[in-house]
């Protein structure tokens, strides 16, 4: 299988499985990821961990050979395919964690940026090197990077295509945390446990308030927040959370 889905203790694990190509993204892998994201969305998983097989790369980016010989119309379609599949990941109602072991370049970093969290190993290397090929990121990288690291930093990284180490990536907000371990899956599971998953149903509402509100004028964003807050109060998890607080116990969220 070009990508595998498994479950462990209620957590979905997707493994990019093209180690001979440093888990590079071709059309088949992108389409397979889209199907797996749908399966995760329909499952009872409380979180998703995304890793790359082989130990040398999370994902080295788009398969460059697949970019050759395409018309402009075909290139647009290929870009939109990646954007649409990554949007499924972005829209999951559960937290997603990309474990960046080895390299995460180009489309691989764009895939990671569509996750809720990015955890890197100390030796990880990140970057959007498309400019060095006379290209630009095509799977949402120009947009998600600016939202994570700010416009000036995004412009610098996209314009130079330079490589970042794990420490700098964490410093600018591109990476959530750095964890030293040999097994990427273990890193992802440990990080998920540290978050206290399962999160309450309000997790997606909180995420929507942050992400959607970012692009709105402040007053409209505050209105969005108010409506999402009201929606959150109607969930059974909110009832459980308030009751647990008053009863001085740990809440048992069901999502």
Q: Domain of 83: which CATH number?
A: 3.90.226.10
Would you say 68 and 112 are in contact if contact means Cβ atoms under 8 Å apart?
no
Q: Are residues 180 and 208 in the same domain?
A: no
In terms of domains, do 236 and 188 share one? no
Identify whether residues 183 and 108 lie together within a single domain. yes
Residue in 31, 74, 130, 220 annotated catalytic: 130
The answer to whether residue 49 sits within a structural domain is yes
Kindly compute the dihedral angle of the four CA atoms of residues 126, 132, 138, 143, in this order, to the nearest 10 degrees: 60
For residues 207 and 185, state if they share a domain: no
Q: Are residues 149 and 228 in the same domain?
A: no
Whether residue 185 sits in one domain with residue 68: yes
Q: Are residues 237 and 124 in the same domain?
A: no
d(CA 145, CA 112): 11
Q: What is the pTM of this model?
A: 0.90
Contact (Cβ atoms closer than 8 angstroms) between residue 47 and residue 195 = yes
CA 112 to chain centre: 4
Contact 253, 200 (CB under 8 A): yes
Question: What does the angle CA 41 – CA 140 – CA 196 come to, to the nearest 5 degrees?
Answer: 40
Please tell me the least confidently modeled range out of 29-43, 60-74, 88-102, 206-220.
Answer: 60-74
160 has a pLDDT exceeding 80 = yes
- Give me the CATH number covering residue 242: 1.10.12
Same domain, 235 and 144: no
Let me know if residue 252 belongs to a domain.
no
Region 126-143: what's the mean pLDDT? 94
Residue 220 designated active-site: no
d(CA 32, CA 211): 26
User: Do 179 and 209 fall within a single domain?
Assistant: no
Mean pLDDT of 80-109: 95
Residue keyed to tokens 């069901």:
254
Q: Is there a domain that residue 86 lies in? A: yes
Per-residue pLDDT, 208 = 86
Catalytic, out of 74, 110, 156, 167: 110
Each residue's pLDDT tens digit, 243-255: 999 999 989 888 7
Structure confidence at residue 248 (pLDDT): 93
As beta bridge partners, residue 165 has: 125
Share of the chain above pLDDT 90, in %: 78
Query: Annotated catalytic, 167?
Result: no
Final residue of a structural domain among 156, 180, 195: 195
Domain range for residue 168? 3-195
Same domain, 41 and 156: yes
Same domain, 72 and 145: yes
In the chain, the number of structural domains is 2
């Amino acid at each position: 299988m070009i990508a595998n889905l498994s479950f462990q203790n209620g957590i979905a694990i997707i493994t990019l499985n093209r180690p001979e190509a440093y888990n590079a993204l071709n059309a088949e892998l992108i389409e397979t990821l889209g199907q797996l994201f749908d399966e995760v969305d329909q499952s009872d998983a409380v979180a998703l961990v995304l890793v790359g097989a082989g130990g040398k790369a999370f994902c080295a980016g788009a398969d460059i050979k697949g970019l050759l010989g395409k018309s402009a119309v075909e290139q647009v379609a290929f870009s939109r395919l990646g954007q649409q599949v990554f949007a499924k990941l972005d829209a999951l109602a559960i937290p997603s964690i990309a474990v960046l072991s080895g390299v995460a370049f180009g489309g691989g970093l764009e895939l990671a940026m569509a996750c809720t969290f990015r955890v890197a190993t100390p030796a990880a290397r990140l970057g959007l090197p498309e400019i060095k090929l006379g290209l630009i990121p095509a799977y949402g990288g120009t947009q998600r990077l600016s939202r994570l690291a700010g416009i000036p930093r995004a412009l610098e990284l996209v314009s130079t295509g330079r490589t970042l180490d794990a420490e700098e990536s964490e410093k600018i907000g591109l990476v959530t945390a750095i964890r030293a371990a040999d097994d990427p899956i273990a890193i992802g599971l440990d990080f998920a446990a540290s978050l206290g998953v399962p999160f309450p149903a309000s997790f997606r509402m909180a995420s929507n308030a942050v992400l959607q509100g970012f692009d709105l004028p402040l007053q409209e964003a505050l209105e969005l927040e108010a409506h999402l807050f009201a929606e959150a109060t109607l969930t059974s998890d909110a009832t459980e959370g308030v009751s647990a607080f008053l009863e001085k116990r740990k809440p048992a969220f069901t999502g």
